[in-house]
Amino acid sequence: MDLCVAGTNGIIHLTDFVIPFNDTSASFTLSTNSSFTDPATAGQEVVDFADPIVAWQAAGYGSTGWQEPLPSEQVVQIESPQETKMIVEFSKLVFGVRDEQRLPEMKWAVMARKTQLVVDSVMTSIENEFKPALVHPGQG
Contact 100, 87 (CB under 8 A): no
The reported pLDDT for the residue numbered 49 is: 55
State the Cα–Cα distance between residues 117 and 125, nearest whole angstrom.
12
The reported pLDDT for the residue numbered 114 is: 92
Concatenate the DSSP letters of all residues of 49-75 into one string.
TTSHHHHHHHHTT-STTEESSPPEEEE
Number of domains in the chain: 1
Domain that holds residue 21: 3-79
| Average pLDDT score over the chain | 79
The verdict on residue 39 lying in a domain is yes
The verdict on residue 116 lying in a domain is no
Ramachandran angles phi, psi of 61, nearest 5°: -90, 5
The DSSP letter of residue 39 is: G
The verdict on residue 87 lying in a domain is no
The verdict on residue 114 lying in a domain is no
Spans of the chain, pLDDT less than 70: 35-68, 138-140
